[in-house]
Structure 1
Amino acid sequence: MPASKFVKLNTGAEMPTLGLGTWRSKPGEVEHAVEFALKNGYRNIDTATAYGNEAEVGQGIKKSGVPRENIFLTTKLNNPDMGRSKEALEYSLKQLDTPYLDLWLMHWPAPMTSNGGPDKSIDWLDTWHEMEKLYKAHPDKLKAIGVSNFSVEYLNRLLANCDVVPAVNQIELHPSCPQQQVVDLCISKGIAVTGYSPLGSDGAPLLKNPVVVKIAEKYGVKPGTILISMHANRPNVNVLPKSVTNERILANATIIDIEPADIAELNEIVKTAPFRACHPNWTGWGNLGFTECV
């Protein structure tokens, strides 16, 4: 299919296919990155309480001069804040200096204590029910709710016990970690998929992959354009490249149509070069039902 500019959520809202990710962006850099991206056509900004940069993101939005209603803004409920969702929502709204969120995600299905260990006293499903209540009670503050880093196992449990089907599942997504079973389940249930780390995360290792380089040469573009565009060429999938440099932010905004045969070849990369940049084991809850990369 041709590259899309928007993904239609199950709420009826349109979420821009291309967004700016802010994970691991250093303090002092995020504000400029957000301001520059918005001034140069981006309309989708992603952050999280856990990133510690919501205030800078909010400042960048203000400085850009782009009206708030023209921006799709996402942040995430932090793992230690499960059990206090209402307070966490108000905190994010204050930090971002915004009256509402376009999308609020459960960052991981992994309740944690304030010192970083697993909190076995909280069931993440109860937290989802709290998010549902806030969504229903405050449509002026929450336009949509969703999840992040949910495997098939966790999605199935959620779907069997929810009143509100998540609008989005944000997951690591690139040729070395396609998570096709997760993507297929989401699409079948009307859940949009947002892919983070499209270049393979730190060091952008996939930029040097010979298959990616070959396909980029065919289209006369940079490898990063291929890795970002492949998601825009899939139904109900959008993508969050991350950068804090002006040149890279502009380069990442180039989206092209890619022939199905080339998409298929990119999808074969996992057979020879599988890896996951953000492994769920860090949470202390194990792998959260994920199979390795596939």
Structure 2
Amino acid sequence: MEQVTLNNGVQMPVMGFGTFQTPPALTEESVERALKIGYRSIDTAQVYENEAGVGAAVKNSGIVRQNLFITTKTQTDGYDETIKGIDESLKKLQMGYIDLMIIHWPMGNSLETYRAMADAYKAGKIRAIGLSNFNPAQIDAILKYSDVKPVIDQIETHLYWQQSKIAPYLAEHEIVHEAWAPFGEEYAKEMIQLPEITELAKKYNVSGAQILLRAMTQQKIVVIPKSNNEAHLKSNLDIFNFKLTDAELEGLKKFDKHRSIKDWPVSMRETNY
């Protein structure tokens, strides 16, 4: 597994296992399967209501906690509610600390929410803090407000929306780019069947899905694909024994349609920043 180094020195696997829309009743089994296959980074969120399942799977896995990287997201708004939410997340996860907590999306009082996370970070409850679905102007507000720099921005990123506008900003500020929906959801089949993708898959003797993931991880974009199919889980993880050439990576840029699958939040529209 390749790692990215966050701006506070913490290392994070470049690939994790996502639990978005995984029903709480199925989460423990799903995460246990991912851990057995070899995933060591798990992404959850308060709003998913499945943190308890993630915690149970981790507890029962027998894997040393220090060898895992657990991300959750706060949807609470304001200082007091966020502090309470952090403690509730720790309890549900059955953990003494969270590796990464991020604000799930910009809210009415994101600054105070971020201050709560920063205080929890300084208290050792969280190893790193970051953002999700924040545009550059919104990140600038955080940077001016806090002495703790966000380590990551988790944003919609896939072949049809490569986030070429925000990427230089993130790089300049040493903020890791993390992709949600790396397969573009309903566009996945279409992307995988593109002639250029199938040709690359044939060349490297891999799947089209593996090409899509490898193109991002080679650029140090963290990906968190989700699947409950064991074969797909193994395939997604097995992308580190080949590398696309610089020319091949450059060639994939022509597929950037700047097209969102959800158009949410609207503040992430490239015309809004």
Shift of 1:227: 0.9
Alignment partner of 1:22 is 2:19: yes
| Letter aligned with residue 250 of structure 2 | A
Structure 1 172/221 Cα, relative in aligned 2: closer, same or farther at 3 Å?
same
Q: Give CA deviations for 1:90-144 in whole Å, capped at 9, x if unaligned.
A: 1111111111100010110124xxxxxxxxxxx21222122212222x11x1111
Partners in 1 of 2:25 and 2:249 — Cα distance?
37
Q: TM-score scaled to structure 2, two decimals?
A: 0.91
Shift of 1:199: 0.8
Matched position secondary structure for 1:104:
strand
Answer yes or no: is the 8 Å Cα contact 1:173–1:197 preserved in 2.
Answer: yes
Answer yes or no: is the 8 Å Cα contact 2:78–2:113 preserved in 1.
Answer: no
Shift of 1:170: 0.9
Matched position secondary structure for 1:218:
helix
1:160 equivalent in structure 2: 144
The 5 A counterparts of 1:97-116 are: 97-111=94-108
| Letter aligned with residue 259 of structure 1 | T
Structure 1 81/157 Cα, relative in aligned 2: closer, same or farther at 3 Å?
closer
The 5 A counterparts of 1:3-82 are: 5-79=2-76
Alignment partner of 1:135 is 2:121: yes
| Letter aligned with residue 264 of structure 2 | P
Structure 1 181/156 Cα, relative in aligned 2: closer, same or farther at 3 Å?
farther
The 5 A counterparts of 1:167-186 are: 167-186=151-170
| Letter aligned with residue 164 of structure 1 | V
Answer yes or no: is the 8 Å Cα contact 1:77–1:88 preserved in 2.
Answer: yes
Partners in 2 of 1:145 and 1:129 — Cα distance?
10
| Letter aligned with residue 115 of structure 2 | H
| Letter aligned with residue 260 of structure 1 | D
1:290 equivalent in structure 2: 269
The 5 A counterparts of 1:183-198 are: 183-198=167-182
Q: Report how many residues are paired.
A: 270
Q: TM-score scaled to structure 1, two decimals?
A: 0.85
Shift of 1:210: 3.2
Partners in 1 of 2:271 and 2:24 — Cα distance?
32
2:188 equivalent in structure 1: 204
Shift of 1:11: 1.4
| Letter aligned with residue 131 of structure 2 | V
Shift of 1:83: 4.9
Partners in 1 of 2:20 and 2:271 — Cα distance?
22
Shift of 1:33: 2.1
Residue ranges of structure 1 left out of the alignment (5+ in a row): 112-122, 282-286
Shift of 1:181: 2.3
Partners in 2 of 1:275 and 1:89 — Cα distance?
34
Structure holding more helix per residue = 2
Answer yes or no: is the 8 Å Cα contact 1:154–1:288 preserved in 2.
Answer: no
Residue ranges of structure 2 left out of the alignment (5+ in a row): none
| Letter aligned with residue 148 of structure 2 | V
Answer yes or no: is the 8 Å Cα contact 2:78–2:110 preserved in 1.
Answer: no
Partners in 2 of 1:269 and 1:67 — Cα distance?
41
Shift of 1:30: 2.1
Partners in 1 of 2:144 and 2:93 — Cα distance?
33
Partners in 2 of 1:81 and 1:50 — Cα distance?
16
Shift of 1:35: 1.0
**Identity value in percent:** 33
